[in-house]
Amino acid sequence: MSALNVDNTVDDPRQRSPLVLGHTDFASVTNEICAVNEAPKPPKLWYVTLVISACLASTLLVLVGYLVVTGVGVWGNNNPVMWGFPIVNFVFWVGIGHAGTLISAILFLFRQKWRTSINRFAEAMTIFAVICAGLFPGIHIGRVWLAYWLFPIPNQMEMWPQFRSPLLWDVFAVSTYFTVSLLFWYVGMIPDLATLRDRSNNRIKAIAYGFFSLGWRGSMRHWHRYERAYLLLAALATPLVLSVHSVVSFDFAVSQLPGWHTTIFPPYFVAGAIFSGFAMVLTLAIPARQIWGLKNFITMRHLENMNKVILLTGSMVGYAYGTEFFIAWYSGELYEKFAFINRAFGQYAWAYWIMVSCNVLSPQVFWFKRARTSIWLMFIVSIFVNIGMWFERFVIVVTSLAQDFLPSSWGYYEPTWVDTMTFVGSFGLFMTLFLLFIRFLPVLAIAEIKAVMPEADPHAHHEHDPDHDHEEGHA
């Protein structure tokens, strides 16, 4: 039995809900997904958003140029808040970049079949988010032309980066993560690129897709090796999902600054990163499935599952906020207590309460199925979570630096227009890359989606036919 248009959010433990709706054969799946790339012209909305995104991305480029020519004085960073928007944005974007590899690697190892409909573009989103993330520390160093000093390159001056600094660990962690995520994304795409190659109607497409599909012919041997490689990559990528944001959290947690130095930071940052990443996947998936008609693949059940993950990781983040607050009190340390009371009631209280209401309160609506299956509500909550998680990084970075130990050295941080527009511009870069991806690469994992359809199971048609099973036993 194949599901056509049923409500697949119903939970009946006697059978698994269908993950692909409206299709009973593989050819129509291929046709429907490839239509996104093969349509002669993309929808109008695609052009509109691409133009806006490209303008914003150009703004980013111009502002980075302005920064390089003028110096970091164009930003609001001051003494004591040496780390302003650039680090906030860096952590924000790295966090967004977590959902992709979590979905593709960890959910793969946990055999969560629903991941197949969302993994491809979640991975793409990861890559683009990490590109945006990598930009910020790069331009934050001041002398951009010396950025290569971040890497331990042997040189005649015997100058080495500070290996004891978590900022250097970041360089390794983020670049490893980027490399493995890219590899994973690409390896997963090879069979689908070959599909596009075989269907291409002009020579340029045939050569381009042909080049990147590495001569894939879909033979048994290819599939066998492909699946082995995919499993190994998943196993290698899994610790990376944890390690990247753990290392990012070390940037803060190895210090002695109250509000930064706390041992729960690594898992707490990882949970927060997955939280924000899933929210971003939702923010992108909801319009995308609408515009390109992908509702049969990214079904309500997928969205509902993502909402559950958001509720779960939101609760983990809430647990971490609570633990930090409790232990700050329990420690009996003056500065620890001050740091947290100051966050909630001090000069940045507004930012703190935006964070709490967006991150902890807003996902609570997902306790109710009606909310988990309401497109508009989940879209709004996903935006709230994005905002909340950006403010979380703002609260952590800015409040602790602005008011640490000595009142005489306290300060107040305000971003300049360059800060704000650079951040907005990074969204332009992100969206530009994402829109190009949707147009030119297979947006969903075509081959993997087929594997989770009941038709892929050779026993599917005689599940309740004992005679047939019997015959097969002799075959």
Residues that bind another protein (CB under 8 A): 11-14, 16, 109, 111, 227, 239, 242, 246, 250, 253-256, 261-267, 311, 315, 319-320, 323-324, 327, 330-333, 367, 457, 459, 469
Q: How far is the CB of 331 from another protein (least distance, A)?
A: 5
**Shorter beta-carbon distance to another protein: residue 38 or 457:** 457
For the bound state, the minimum distance from the C-beta of residue 339 to another protein, rounded and expressed in Å, comes to 13
Ramachandran assignment for 154, one of left (phi > 0), alpha (psi -120 to 50 degrees), beta (any other)? beta
Nearer to another protein, 163 or 350 (CB): 163
Between 139 and 242, name the residue whose CB sits nearer to another protein.
242
Least distance in angstroms from the C-beta of 268 to another protein? 8
C-beta closer to another protein: residue 38 or 333: 333
Region for residue 218 given its phi and psi (left: phi exceeds 0; alpha: psi -120 to 50; beta: otherwise): left
CB of 184 to another protein, least distance (A): 19
Residue 462 CB, nearest distance to another protein (Å)? Answer: 11
Cα end-to-end span (Å), the chain: 24
**Coil, helix or strand at residue 190:** helix
| Contact (CB, 8 A) for 437 and 443 | yes
Please state, in angstroms and rounded to a whole number, the distance separating the CA atoms of residues 21 and 403.
55
Long-range contacts: 36-45, Cβ < 8 Å, 24+?
A: 36/292, 36/294, 36/438, 36/439, 36/443, 37/196, 37/439, 37/440, 37/441, 37/442, 37/443, 38/199, 38/201, 42/439, 43/291, 43/292, 45/291
* Residue closer to another protein, measured from CB, 135 or 300: 300
Query: Which residue number, 232 or 375, has a Cβ lying nearer to another protein?
Result: 232
290 CB-near residues (< 8 Å, 6+ apart): none
Q: How far is the CB of 147 from another protein (least distance, A)?
A: 26
Cα torsion angle, 366, 451, 104, 195, sign = negative
